[in-house]
Chain A
Amino acid sequence: MSLLEVNALTKKFGSRRSVDEVSFTLQPNTSTALIGPNGAGKTTTMSMIAGLLQASSGSVRLQGSKDIRRHIGFLPQYPKFYSWLTALEYVEMVARLSGLSAQEASKRSKQVLEYVGLGSDMKRLTSTFSGGMKQRLGIAQAIVHDPKLLLLDEPVSALDPLGRSEVMTLLKQLQQQTTILYSTHILHDAEKMTDQVLFMKEGKLVEQGSLADIQLRYADPQYLVQFAHDNDAERFAASRKQLVRREVNSVYLAIDAELPTMQALMSSLLATGYDIVKLERVSASLDQIFMKVAGANEHMARVVD
C-alpha cells in the first residue's frame, strides 16, 4: 500500500496553472526526486502537500492520517529561524508544536541535533550559524517528530560544495528510515539517492518511474571512441554515417545494423590505423535524459500550437 497518494493536484494563480493535474504515489521507505527547471511548479507542489497552500483542485492523501501536518517534516529551500533562539530551543519548540511532551521534546531534540552534527553548537543562537549549519538545523527540525514523510525543497542547491556533500550524506542515511520526497534541479544529486524520479515541466508531470526504468527507456546506448589526435577524431567522424556528435577527440556513434557489436566497431577501426585511447559503450546520464524529456515536451507543445 502506498504512503502518499497525490491525485490530479492543481494550483491556479489567476488563469495560469502553476501545477496542472499532477498525480503520483509514494511507497513507504523510498526516496523520490522531483526534477524540473526553475519555475516548473516543484515548490508549489511541495507547498500543497505540506498544507501551506490550498490546492485549487485535486487531493493529497497520507496513509492513515486525517491531519497530514502531524506526519510530515518540511524543509523549505531557505529555512528561516528565529534569530533570538538557540538551536536547541528552536527544535524543542517545534517538537512541542508537533505534539511531543516537554521531556520527549527535549530528549529527541538533543538526539537529532547530535545526529545532524550540531551537538556542540546547540546552545548557540541560530543567527550565528553558517548556511550549511542552518540547512542541517533545518533537517533536525524536520525529523524531530519522527514524520512518516519528509518533504525537502531543494535541500542542497543553496550550499557550497562542502555543505552540499555534508547534507547529501545525511540524507542518504535518512533514506533508510523514512520516506523522502525532495525537489532539485541538480541532477547529479538526484542520481545519487533516488528510487523514483518525477519530471516536472511547466506545471505538468511529464515523465515518471523508477530510476532504472527511466534509464532503460531513455538509455540510448552509444559507442564512445576517444582518439590520441584531434584531427584523427575529425577525419573518423566525417567518415561515419552513425555519427551522433564529436567533442574534440571523442566521437559518439549510434549503434545500428552496420555496427551491431563492439567487435564490428573494432574491426572497422583496425583498418584505419588511428591512435585510439579509449573505446566504450555508454548510456545517457540523467542530465541527458532530462534534456530529452524536456525537449520532447517542447516538440509536443509546438505540434499542439
Chain B
Amino acid sequence: MNTWRVLWIKEFRESWRSFKLLWIPLLFLFLGVSDPLVNYFMEDILNAVGNMPEGFQMIMPELHARDLLLATTEQFQMMGIIVLIAVFVGTISRERSGGTATLIYVRPVSAASIFLSKWMGASLVALLSALIGYIGSIYYTSVLYGEITFSTALTIIATYSVWLLLVMSLTVALSAAFTTAVAASLAIILIPIGGILDSLLGGYWHVTPWKLARYGVLVTDGTIESSYYWTTLLLVIGITLLCLVLGIWATDRNRRLAAV
C-alpha cells in the first residue's frame, strides 16, 4: 500500500506545519502537570495571599499518588478529548467540502488508504500528546506524592493510548460519514457526554468503553478486578476495529460528495 504512505506523509506535514504536533502536546502537558502542582501548593498560595478570616482553617484531604493520576486522566477525558475531537473531526469532511479532496479522489487511491492515513495522522498527534502529558503528571506526582513504579506508569499510558485510538477512529469515521457539523455533534455526544452519563449512571455495570481510562489507573493497585479491565480493553479494541471498517466504507460511499 504505497499510496497510504504518501498520504500519511501529507498528514504528518500538515500536523507539523500547522503546529499541531507542538501545541496539542503542550496543552496535554499543562493538563498533566496542573493537578499534582496546584493541589500541592494550594495551601501555600492561600497562606501567601492571606486575607483569611481569623480562625479559618482549610482542611485539605490527604491525597495519594493514585488520586492525582486519576485527576490527570479526568482532565484528559474532558478538555483533552474535546480539543482532539474539535481539531480532527473535519479531517475528511472539510477536505470534501473545501475541494482539496477532488484532486486526490480522481487518482487511483483506495478508500482504505485515504481513511487509514487520516486515522494514523490524527492518532500520532493524540498519542504523542497523551504520552507527554502523562510523563509530566507522573513526574510531579512521584516527586510530590510518592513513588510510581515503571510498570504502573506503563500500564496507565498504554491503556490510555488504546482508548485514544478508539476516540480517533470514531472521530475520523464520523468525519468520513457526515458533514463536519454533524460529525462534531455526534462525536461530542458519543465521547465526552457519553462518559459523563456513564459515570453518573454506570455504577450498575462494570464494562463500558468509557470506563477504560479510569480502569487503566485503578487496575494498577488492584482497586478493580482485573477481569473487568481486560473485558473493557477487548471491547474497546473491538469497537475500534469496527469504526475502522465503517470509516473506510463511509469514505468510499462519500467520494461522490467531493466538491468539483
Enumerate chain A interface residues (CB-CB to B < 8 A).
Answer: 43, 46-47, 50-54, 67, 69-70, 72, 74, 76-82, 84-85, 89, 93-94, 96-99, 141, 153
Given A76-B260, A97-B3, check contact A84 B14 (CB 8 Å): yes
CB under 8 Å from chain A, chain B span 102-157: 102-109
Given contacts A69-B107, A81-B100, contact A97 B7 (CB under 8 A): yes
Q: Which A residues are in CB contact (< 8 Å) with B105?
A: 52
Which residue on B lies nearest to A92, using beta carbons? B6
Q: Is the CB of B98 within 8 A of A74?
A: no
Cβ B103 vs Cβ A69 within 8 A? no
Residue of A nearest to B10 (CB): A93
In the complex, the answer to whether A96 meets B108 with C-beta atoms within 8 Å is: no
Tell me the dominant secondary structure on chain B's binding face. helix
A84 touching B17, Cβ below 8 Å: yes
Contact residues in A for B255 (Cβ distance below 8 Å) = 52
The residue in A50, A53, A54, A97 that gathers the most chain B C-beta atoms within 10 A of its C-beta is A97
Contacts of B202 in A (CB 8 A): none
Closest 3 pairs between A and B when the two form their complex, measured CB to CB: A80-B99, A97-B107, A74-B106
Known contacts A80-B99, A82-B10, A84-B17; A94 and B104 CB within 8 A of each other = yes
Residue of A whose beta carbon sits closest to that of B7 = A97
Chain B contacts with A in 78-99, Cβ cutoff 8 A: 98-99
Q: What CA separation (Å) do A82 and B91 show in the bound complex?
A: 12
Report the minimum CB–CB distance from B199 to chain A (whole Å): 39
Select from chain A the residue with minimum beta-carbon distance to B16: A84
CA distance A78 to B100 in the complex (A): 10
B99 in contact with A78 (CB, 8 Å)? yes
| Chain A residues, Cβ within 8 Å of B7 | 93, 97
Shortest CB–CB separation between residue A237 and chain B, in angstroms? 48
Minimum Cβ distance to chain B for residue A113 (Å): 16
Q: How far is the CA of A194 from the CA of B151 in the complex (A)?
A: 72
Inter-chain contacts of A69 with B (CB < 8 A): 106-108
Contact indicator A82/B260 (Cβ below 8 Å): no
Q: Check B13 for interface membership: any CB of A closer than 8 A.
A: yes
- Measured CA separation A112–B121 after assembly (Å): 29
7 A-B contacts, Cβ less than 8 Å apart?
A50-B106, A52-B260, A74-B103, A76-B102, A79-B103, A84-B14, A97-B109
Supposing A85-B13, A153-B260 touch, asked if A67 and B108 sit within 8 A by C-beta, the answer is: yes
Chain B, residue nearest A97 (CB): B107
Q: Is the CB of A76 within 8 A of B99?
A: yes
Contact A99 B108 (CB under 8 A): yes
Whole-angstrom CA separation of A94 from B103 in the bound complex: 8
Q: Is B51 an interface position by the 8 A CB rule? A: no
